[in-house]
């Protein structure tokens, strides 16, 4: 008659099975990592494949010899699949050019002596929503230069919700914006909306802006990446932080590492502001990426009375600069007239922010 096995013998066998399981799980994880790398190489950022997962679970349930129930087997393997997916995504993030895991130190842009990011003092990017006339741009550039602003903004091509709204002056606006910026020893940044316009915009602008509506325009992202001009990348209207960083990755992957991320508020159910400013995105982007991050308070608020407190909050959370719209006569502006500051308004804005503009805030 066979003697029953002792508890010690059974535990010893369990220990060996645990070691075997660990070895198999490690082998499985190594294969998973290779699959994740292959997906990244193929340009497939979405690692989760629900159809593939369901197929595996069905096969395992059918092969289950017991004594675990089918539901228990599915539950156990779902945890293994979950850990595997996390491994794939973690390895993918480590390879992203925007990631701090690839480049630990802050990227600091130096554009003709204007430093942005890292230990550089916060910068101000200011100017009208749209370039409308020579007089308007000359007055604005001269005024802002006198206040120490080094980067002049102004839209030559304007994306408008209505096709009948003012669409900008086009090339004439580029020439005008570039001329007045240089006359006042400023840099000029303007939005590019079409891959066909990148070359001509890059000819006149010191920095190319990709607007919120074009953050998912991957052909445009690649084209500005090839233009070898610094790029100001605004977060999309309803984009996640991950999507925003992947958009920046498109630009960096083309060899252009001079990218500034711009948080400008996202669309929510709130109607008292134009958008909802997501300051957590600023702090998180500064942790996850080495790129400079600035905040567009004008488009976030859509109202003048919130610009000062929002700008203070943005600088307090670690933003590398503030983007704001300024116009000689906002009441007569051809676009966004309700949210632009006049010169007196900017005086108050400048005075309120002065104590915070000397050194960047730590995060």
Q: What is the DSSP letter of 3?
A: P
Mean pLDDT over residues 92-100, rounded? Answer: 81
Find tokens 């958008």 and name the residue.
Answer: 275
pLDDT of 96 reads 87
**DSSP helix/strand/coil, 71:** helix
Model pLDDT for residues 72-89, shown as the tens digit of each residue: 989 998 999 898 888 877
Find, among 291, 277, 286, 206, the residue nearest to 247 by Cα.
291
Distance CA 260, CA 208 (A): 10
96, 243 in Cβ contact below 8 A? Answer: no
Contact 214, 188 (CB under 8 A): no
- Least Cα distance to 91 among 31, 25, 22, 21 occurs for 31
Tell how strand 114-116 and strand 109-111 pair up: antiparallel
More confidently predicted of 272 and 359: 272
* 145-182 per-position pLDDT tens digit: 999 999 999 999 866 555 655 556 889 999 999 999 99
For the stretch 111-115, contacts whose Cβ atoms lie closer than 8 Å and that sit 24 or more positions apart, written own/partner, are 111/187, 111/206, 111/207, 111/230, 111/258, 112/187, 112/206, 114/150, 114/151, 114/187
Relative orientation angle of helices 307-316 and 343-353, to the nearest 10 degrees: 30
Parallel, antiparallel or unpaired: strands 231-234 and 207-210:
parallel
Distance CA(19)–CA(129), nearest Å, equals: 65
User: Which tens digit of pLDDT belongs to each residue from 202-235?
Assistant: 999 999 999 999 999 999 999 999 998 999 999 9
pLDDT digits (tens, 9 = 90+) for 303-334: 999 999 999 999 999 999 999 999 999 988 88
- pTM of full prediction above 0.85: no
């Amino acid at each position: 008659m066979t003697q029953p096995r002792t508890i010690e013998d059974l535990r010893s066998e369990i220990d060996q099975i645990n070691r075997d399981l660990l070895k198999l799980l490690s082998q499985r994880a190594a294969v998973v990592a290779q699959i994740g790398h292959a997906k990244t190489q193929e340009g497939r950022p979405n690692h989760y494949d629900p159809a593939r997962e369901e197929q595996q679970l069905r096969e395992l349930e059918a092969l289950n010899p017991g004594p675990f129930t089918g539901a228990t087997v599915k539950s156990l393997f779902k945890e293994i699949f979950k850990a595997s997916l996390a491994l794939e995504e973690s390895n993918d993030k480590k390879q992203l050019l925007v990631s701090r895991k690839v480049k630990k130190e802050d990227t600091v842009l130096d554009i003709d002596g204007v430093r942005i990011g890292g230990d550089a003092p916060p910068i101000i990017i200011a100017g009208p929503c749209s370039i409308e006339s020579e007089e308007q741009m000359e007055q604005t550039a001269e005024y802002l230069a006198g206040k120490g602003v080094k980067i002049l903004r102004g839209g030559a091509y304007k994306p408008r919700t209505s096709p009948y709204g003012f669409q900008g002056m086009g090339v004439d606006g580029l020439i005008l914006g570039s001329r007045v910026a240089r006359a006042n020893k400023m840099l000029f940044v303007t939005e590019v909306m079409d891959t066909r316009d990148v070359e001509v915009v890059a000819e006149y602008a010191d920095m190319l802006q990709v607007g919120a509506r074009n953050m998912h325009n991957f052909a445009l992202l690649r084209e500005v990446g090839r233009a070898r001009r610094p790029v100001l990348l605004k977060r999309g209207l309803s984009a996640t932080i991950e999507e925003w960083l992947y958009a920046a990755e498109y630009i960096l992957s083309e060899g252009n590492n001079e990218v500034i991320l711009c948080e400008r508020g996202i669309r929510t159910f709130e109607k008292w502001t134009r958008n909802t400013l997501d300051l957590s995105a600023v702090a998180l982007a500064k942790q996850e990426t080495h790129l400079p991050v600035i905040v567009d308070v004008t488009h976030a608020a859509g109202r003048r009375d919130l610009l000062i407190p929002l700008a203070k909050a943005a600088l307090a959370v670690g933003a590398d600069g503030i983007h704001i719209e300024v116009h000689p006569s906002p009441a007569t502006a051809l676009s966004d007239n309700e949210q632009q500051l006049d010169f007196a308004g900017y005086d108050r804005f400048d005075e309120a922010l002065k104590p915070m503009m000397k050194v960047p805030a730590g995060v």
